[in-house]
Structure 1
Amino acid sequence: MGRNTRKRRTPLATKAIAASAALALGGGGLIWANFYASAHEKAPDNRTKRNVSQVVTIYCPDVGQQLRNVPDRARGEVDGELASMDQQITDAYQRLVTTRRAQAGDANFVQNSILGPLKDRRKVLLDRIKLQINRAGGKAPGDLDRLAGCTGRPAGGQNGGGQNDGGQNGGGQNDGGQNGGQDGGGQPDDNGNGVAGPVADDFIKIEDVQPNSRNLPNGLPANGDSGSTGTFTTDCGTNENNLFNSDNLIAAPGVGNGAHHVHDYVGNQDNDAFSSDEDLANADTSCQNQGDKSTYYWPVLRLQDGTEEFDANDEGGGAEGNIGRILKPAQAQLKFVGNKQGDVVAMPKFLRIITGDAKSFVNGTANANTSWSCTGFEDRQSTDKYPLCPEGSQVVRTSNFQSCWDGQNIDSANHRDHMAFVQADGSCPNGFQAIPQLQVKLVYDIPTPTIENGQVQNPYAVDSFPEQLHKPITDHNDFINVMDEQLMNEVVECINTGRDCT
């Protein structure tokens, strides 16, 4: 299935998901044990379980987004430590969902046995990050320690406390988040398959989405009736070569399973955590235009129908709650467009762009860039719910990338600062210049899930970090430009002269 066999560096914090923490789901891979305990299940002392069982996930401040000035020679090690932090969260979340009985008998269990030790382990990695930055000649932020503490997230509510308060208000710091779920909208369910979502409330009939109601500031289309109005479309297929892995070359280079969820890849065929720029430049490509060796990747969608996929027992797959049949898009349109205010300039080779936020459920929507819709209803865009499409209509995922570049860097310490979205009038912020905007449109043939008695049957969901609960707002998309100079110049010329090219 296109899986890589090169030696993989796993995060330092914890190198494996404990097999004892998961149960075999007949034909459906591994599931987290006892994910949502019933509110009426009896504890060992026959007391009804309290609302502590409503702590459904863990919120940890996103350290990576706070690191703006990491020297180049320290970035590899820092990215490795950040990946270790992600593994720590995965392990703590695993413990959260497999200790429901202990939580019911001890109101302080989550804080004392999960969140407290997690804070101590994160503090060790934060100290390492500071040391690595300072040794490389940089100056580590003096307040990183405030990001060590994590909180429990109760049921209900879409987004976490956000980065500004370090998670202090995300779910009740004083009680470990254990008492925050009383008014959270009731006990969630697991749809009978034991994994962390999606739940019925994560879906909406597309007819109930108001036209032109997308409420996120990001991902505005870059062009219109003025400026550079041309387009360039590249056809790279729909992953017919079955290239899948749970790496993330941009955010976690050199770390196997750095994403903790599986990606679809089109374009470059040598894309994993260990691919160098030279590897990418020398690789094969699935794109019809062989001058385009760019890598385009996104988290897979799965249909939770009991199918046991190839990764049912693997980290990133079933062992981390990503179960069910992987759905390839029926169509993957990769189009580059221009800018409303004027011409675009060429992208530098090996430019890296991440759009959206895989941790939006707990991070908040500052970097979210999700657009879900249905064919025939594409003026109706949902940001935080999966659409239920009527018969004959297909599910659509759209990502409009950042299209303003700082003119100097192909990446940045937090993998975002070198890029920016256009402003409301289509112009770029001061110091940035317009480049072709990548727009990715993915269309899927998916049986429409049904919702009965508050449960969704055979739901589909985007792969996610385990603690993100497969929320649709965590959808994201990644791109590394590996077009040759001749093709990139052709893209720019087509866009600036108003032509539509392929």
Structure 2
Amino acid sequence: MIRRSRWLSGALIAASGTLVASGLTVMSGTASAGDAPETEAPAADAHQGHAALQAAPPGEWIPVDEPVEGIEPLENPPFAEHREFQANCAPTHRLPDDPIVYPGMPGASHFHTFMGNDSTHAGSTTESLLAGGTSCLAPGDRSAYWMPTLYRGDEAVDPRGVQVIYYKSGIRDHTSVRPFPTGLRYVVGDPFQSAEEFLDGSVEGWECGDSYNNADIPAHCPEGSQLNVRYQAPSCWDGRHLDSPDHQSHMSYPVVVDGADVCPTSHPVAVPMVEFKMAFPVDGDLSDVHLSSGRGYSFHYDVFNAWDEPTLAAMVEQCINGGLQCDPRGYDQYNPEHGAVLDENYELPRA
């Protein structure tokens, strides 16, 4: 399935349509905005579903330097219950920027909460991300991850601590998954999607307590619980482009053939399936909890790959191709004989 984005249909209008100025909110005290505007953060209620300052400009097909061919999946691939590793990263800052959808247009987006690369802003490029710092446990992961900011009333609510970003196999034959190419970028989901479309791309949707698979944010969560959202990305790539005009057409979700999940012929290269599992410290009455992009089913996220290539390749080979359930060091506690990919500092040992 290829999702078609409605990003390009015009300016993004969310809840109240209030315009705001660009600003940076640093959450950990360590983030840098690079050459982002050096302005104070907007007032707490300035997020209120503001309109984009400009319509999203059409993107372009960005070709990869060397086209990549898919690996023919095995007819009888080895069984593995888990085929994954974690790339856990903490939130760094908030900005009304989106360097994929609104490149070079600071303030043109609804507010996003950024994780991973601490330099991400509207003007970010592959080169600037590779030169930036990271809040991910693995220093080799300088990728930028972002999602719409969650609010309780007028107050932004940041995910608490390091968040779980899974890298998994989205297809049956996990041995044929390749690492991302450097500079690959895409948008997962759509702020204009319906509740049904949101659930079509999620693994659990919104959840808290004993309530799962919700398209919208639940009206109430048990006291002492937290609000979680889980959402999965497409994991099949066309092997030809790092980006596309709608930021989605170069990617595809797997299709089912003879009962097995495989990549379609149009997108033959299996790459890691990124899954966000975000945890927000809110409970009780959630009637005033919402996203900067609107209702809960407007949840979406962006991935801009800037991994150190040898590190990502080693993690994919051991954990995804090897059929293991790895932590952020590439270690499977249930199969300790394989050891860890990364050292105690989450770095790849170099020869």
Tell me which interval the TM-score lies in, with the shorter structure as reference length.
Answer: 0.5 to 0.7
| One-letter code aligned to 2:261 | G
Matched residue, 1:215: none
CA apart distance, 1:85: 2.6
CA apart distance, 1:297: 0.8
Matched residue, 1:20: none
Matched residue, 1:414: 246
Matched, 1:84 2:54: yes
Query: What is the alpha-carbon distance in structure 2 between the residues aligned to residue 345 and residue 227 of structure 1?
Result: 17
Matched residue, 1:301: 150
Matched, 1:404 2:236: yes
Matched residue, 1:157: none
| TM-score normalised by structure 2 residue count | 0.67
1:255 alignment partner, one of 101, 105, 120: 105
Q: CA contact under 8 A between 1:374 and 1:387: conserved in structure 2?
A: no
Matched, 1:498 2:348: no
Query: What is the alpha-carbon distance in structure 2 between the residues aligned to residue 244 and residue 342 of structure 1?
Result: 35
State the Cα deviation string for residues 11-43 of structure 1 (Å, max 9, x = none): xxxxxxxxxxxxxxxx963598xx9xxxxxxxx
Query: What is the alpha-carbon distance in structure 2 between the residues aligned to residue 368 and residue 256 of structure 1?
Result: 31
CA apart distance, 1:229: 3.8
1:348-363 map, 5 Å = 348-360=181-193
CA apart distance, 1:294: 0.6
Matched residue, 1:14: none
Query: What is the alpha-carbon distance in structure 1 between the residues aligned to residue 47 and residue 114 of structure 2?
Result: 25
2:206 alignment partner, one of 373, 389, 398: 373
Stretch moving more, 383-392 or 243-252: 383-392
| One-letter code aligned to 1:448 | G
Stretch moving more, 390-399 or 406-415: 390-399
| One-letter code aligned to 1:462 | L
1:40-439 map, 5 Å = 84-85=54-55, 226=79, 229-237=82-90, 239=91, 241=92, 243-259=93-109, 261-304=110-153, 324-330=154-160, 332-338=163-169, 339-343=171-175, 344-360=177-193, 365=197, 369=201, 371-377=204-210, 380-386=212-218, 388-424=220-256, 425-431=260-266, 432-439=268-275
Q: CA contact under 8 A between 2:89 and 2:115: conserved in structure 1?
A: yes
| One-letter code aligned to 1:262 | F
Structure 1 unpaired stretches of 5+: 9-26, 36-57, 59-81, 87-124, 134-223, 305-323, 451-455, 465-469
Matched, 1:29 2:73: no
State the Cα deviation string for residues 466-494 of structure 1 (Å, max 9, x = none): xxxx2111110111111111111112212
| One-letter code aligned to 2:101 | A
Identity %: 25
| One-letter code aligned to 2:291 | V
Query: What is the alpha-carbon distance in structure 1 between the residues aligned to residue 166 and residue 208 of structure 2?
Result: 18
| One-letter code aligned to 1:409 | H
State the Cα deviation string for residues 25-67 of structure 1 (Å, max 9, x = none): xx963598xx9xxxxxxxxxxxxxxxxxxxxxx9xxxxxxxxx
Give the direction of change, closer, same or farther, for the CA distance of 1:410–1:491 in structure 2 (3 Å limit): same
Give the direction of change, closer, same or farther, for the CA distance of 1:302–1:387 in structure 2 (3 Å limit): same
Give the direction of change, closer, same or farther, for the CA distance of 1:5–1:368 in structure 2 (3 Å limit): farther
CA apart distance, 1:366: 8.2
| One-letter code aligned to 1:350 | G
Q: CA contact under 8 A between 2:115 and 2:144: conserved in structure 1?
A: yes
Query: What is the alpha-carbon distance in structure 1 between the residues aligned to residue 46 and residue 322 of structure 2?
Result: 53
Query: What is the alpha-carbon distance in structure 1 between the residues aligned to residue 281 and residue 47 of structure 2?
Result: 26
- Indicate the SS of the match to 1:280: helix
Matched residue, 1:153: none
State the Cα deviation string for residues 73-105 of structure 1 (Å, max 9, x = none): xxxxxxxxx97336xxxxxxxxxxxxxxxxxxx
Q: CA contact under 8 A between 1:361 and 1:471: conserved in structure 2?
A: no
Q: CA contact under 8 A between 1:329 and 1:445: conserved in structure 2?
A: yes
Q: CA contact under 8 A between 1:228 and 1:342: conserved in structure 2?
A: no
- Indicate the SS of the match to 2:86: strand
Give the direction of change, closer, same or farther, for the CA distance of 1:286–1:411 in structure 2 (3 Å limit): same
Query: What is the alpha-carbon distance in structure 2 between the residues aligned to residue 6 and residue 359 of structure 1?
Result: 30
- Indicate the SS of the match to 1:426: strand
Query: What is the alpha-carbon distance in structure 1 between the residues aligned to residue 198 and residue 46 of structure 2?
Result: 33
Give the direction of change, closer, same or farther, for the CA distance of 1:31–1:230 in structure 2 (3 Å limit): closer
- Indicate the SS of the match to 2:274: strand
Q: CA contact under 8 A between 2:217 and 2:290: conserved in structure 1?
A: no
Give the direction of change, closer, same or farther, for the CA distance of 1:388–1:283 in structure 2 (3 Å limit): same
Give the direction of change, closer, same or farther, for the CA distance of 1:290–1:375 in structure 2 (3 Å limit): same
Name whichever structure is richer in helix by fraction.
1
State the Cα deviation string for residues 381-409 of structure 1 (Å, max 9, x = none): 01245352223322111111110111111
Give the direction of change, closer, same or farther, for the CA distance of 1:269–1:448 in structure 2 (3 Å limit): same
CA apart distance, 1:337: 0.9
Query: What is the alpha-carbon distance in structure 1 between the residues aligned to residue 242 and residue 53 of structure 2?
Result: 21
- Indicate the SS of the match to 1:492: helix
Give the direction of change, closer, same or farther, for the CA distance of 1:350–1:434 in structure 2 (3 Å limit): same
| TM-score normalised by structure 1 residue count | 0.48
CA apart distance, 1:426: 1.6
Structure possessing the higher relative contact order (Cα contacts under 8 Å, 6 or more residues apart): 2
Matched residue, 1:486: 310
Q: What's the RMSD between the two structures over aligned residues?
A: 3.3
| One-letter code aligned to 1:433 | V
> Size of the alignment, in residue pairs?
268
Structure 2 unpaired stretches of 5+: 1-24, 27-31, 38-42, 61-76, 329-351
| One-letter code aligned to 2:271 | I
| One-letter code aligned to 2:100 | I
CA apart distance, 1:228: 8.4
Q: CA contact under 8 A between 1:357 and 1:367: conserved in structure 2?
A: no
CA apart distance, 1:369: 3.7
Matched residue, 2:12: none
Q: CA contact under 8 A between 2:206 and 2:216: conserved in structure 1?
A: no
